[in-house]
Structure 1
Amino acid sequence: MATAENEIYDATLMGILQKEGQIAKFLDVVMGFLYRRTDYYHIMESRDSKLGFPQGVAQRLLIQAYEKYEKLSEKRDNAKDTRTVIPSRPDQKDLKNKKASDVTNSSSQNPPPTIQTSESSEKTPTKNTETLNSQQVFQENPESHNGAMRDGYRWAQTLTDCDLRIEVPSTVLKAKQVSVNIKRKHISASYIDEENQVVELVDSDLAWDVNVEESMWSLVPKDCIHINLEKVQERWWEQVFVEEPKINTRKIEASVSMEHLDDGAQSAIGKLMYDERQKKLGLPTSSEQEMQNMLKKAWNSEGSPFQGMPYDPSIVNTSGMNSQFK
């Protein structure tokens, strides 16, 4: 297990934790190391760049690491809860009179833990399965954010691309064991098992066209085939594959990142943000600065009554000029 492999670092990490004394300070040391000595916080400038991560990926890695050990913790706690608990011995009279009712009550109050599979949940839908398949649950997982978790795969999306993760067994360790074929509106993926047999994972039509040349895939050993699909059309997908249930795109986070806007829109938003910040600081906005620059040029121009005098904005009434710059 990965947790056992990581134990070789326990002595070093424990020394840091004991010195800092608090979890928050310990985490600050770790994140500070990533900030100072790695490109963890650097945003990748282009697809060809070897430095940093795409927007949002670094944060997803942190969340995934937390959720990995959160799941292990839940499994450990659930294992404790399912251990047999021997109660104090009851009075023989009570045991004789209430034996049947006690057993019934015990089983109804503490039912044995069950594992729901996708097959059983489809046949007998319950409130629990509805919750597990709700968009709120998908949104909380970075690997299904704005997307969904399905049987055998999960997907997330932005306005311009889609991250598809197709699950593979723990025996898949190298990319040469995997075959992936991405077409404009179709994806097939398979792997070679321990008996040298080809096992098909996905062979389905996509709901929307993708740019094949700009799409790529990689293997996360023992976990998944990670496929990044670039959308031909900028829009929110309701599904990845045509046979898949559609999600409700009204319940996703449909905001558009600044990086996906054109230069004109980014410039306009940047100007608004700058002006708002200037107002809070009591400083002139970009429009007011522009107006002052124009007045400075006119102050010493030919025919100006102020020519040769130091520029003094207090004697110029600019209240009527502000509107044309807003």
Structure 2
Amino acid sequence: MADNEPTPAEEAAARAKEQAEQDALPYKWTQTIGDVDVSLTVPGNLKGRDLVVDIKKTSIAAGIKGQEPIIKGDLPHAVHVDDSTWTLTTAPGGLKTVEIHLDKVNKMEWWPHVVTTAPKIDVTKIVPENSKLSDLDGETRGMVEKMMYDQRQKEMGLPSSDEQKKMDILKKFQEQHPEMDFSKAKIN
């Protein structure tokens, strides 16, 4: 284990703290590599016209008209406003849920939080559902898997797949040309 790698106990504590921070938020949220879904619970007597949901390219505000928004702030990354939607559904127990669907512009990055003022989650710990990964076409899936591999390598201070490839090519070339001096060679 590397020196800077957390112990299993530290890791569990970090996950528990993160979970507690997320549970304390006045909304729940989930994400896939392509979108973010936020849900807010509101009193059951409310109708759609009693709510304010303002989705912009890089910000969001949602809540009950005339009250402080339940969620408000800048998004960490841009969304497609035209493809982002919200609905009001009846939840069990006489409450209603505002379901907000945000369509990510960049379908290749995980969000650490919905709004930049909220506590972050550790995006490196996200394990995409395999079924979701398998829904992607071959090229996109390969790209996502490569990005995930490179992200893990970077965290461990190891070379990315591209850097590794360059190093392997250079090593092979060095073996084929022992007469050349590679001591000053730089790999970019």
Q: TM-score, normalised by structure 2?
A: 0.55
Q: Which residue of 2 aligns with 1:215?
A: 84
Q: Secondary structure at the match of 2:43?
A: coil
- Pair 170,232 (structure 1): closer, same or farther in 2 beyond 3 Å: same
More helix by share: 1
Structure 2 runs not aligned, ≥5 long: 1-12, 142-188
- Selected match of 2:118 from 244, 247, 251: 244
Q: Which residue of 2 aligns with 1:199?
A: 67
User: Separation in 1 of the partners of 2:127 and 2:29?
Assistant: 14
User: Separation in 2 of the partners of 1:149 and 1:231?
Assistant: 23
Indicate if the aligned counterparts of 1:162 and 1:228 stay in contact, CA closer than 8 A.
yes
Q: CA deviation at 1:176?
A: 1.8
Q: CA deviation at 1:252?
A: 2.1
User: Separation in 1 of the partners of 2:97 and 2:17?
Assistant: 20
Q: CA deviation at 1:185?
A: 0.7
User: Separation in 2 of the partners of 1:264 and 1:236?
Assistant: 19
Give the letter for the 1:167 counterpart.
T
Q: CA deviation at 1:210?
A: 0.6
User: Separation in 2 of the partners of 1:132 and 1:169?
Assistant: 29
User: Separation in 1 of the partners of 2:15 and 2:88?
Assistant: 30
Report the RMSD for the aligned CA atoms in angstroms.
Answer: 2.8
Q: Which residue of 2 aligns with 1:156?
A: 30
Identity of aligned residues (%): 31
Q: Secondary structure at the match of 2:60?
A: strand
More strand by share: 2
- Pair 229,150 (structure 1): closer, same or farther in 2 beyond 3 Å: farther
Q: Secondary structure at the match of 1:246?
A: coil
Q: Which residue of 2 aligns with 1:262?
A: 137
Q: CA deviation at 1:130?
A: 7.5
Correspondences of 1:72-87 after superposition (within 5 Å)? none
User: Separation in 1 of the partners of 2:37 and 2:123?
Assistant: 16
Q: CA deviation at 1:229?
A: 0.5
Q: Deviations over 1:33-61 (max 9, x none)?
A: xxxxxxxxxxxxxxxxxxxxxxxxxxxxx
Q: Deviations over 1:289-313 (max 9, x none)?
A: xxxxxxxxxxxxxxxxxxxxxxxxx
Structure 1 runs not aligned, ≥5 long: 1-128, 139-147, 193-197, 267-326
Q: TM-score, normalised by structure 1?
A: 0.33
Larger radius of gyration: 1
Are 2:55 and 1:182 aligned? yes
Q: Which residue of 2 aligns with 1:233?
A: 106
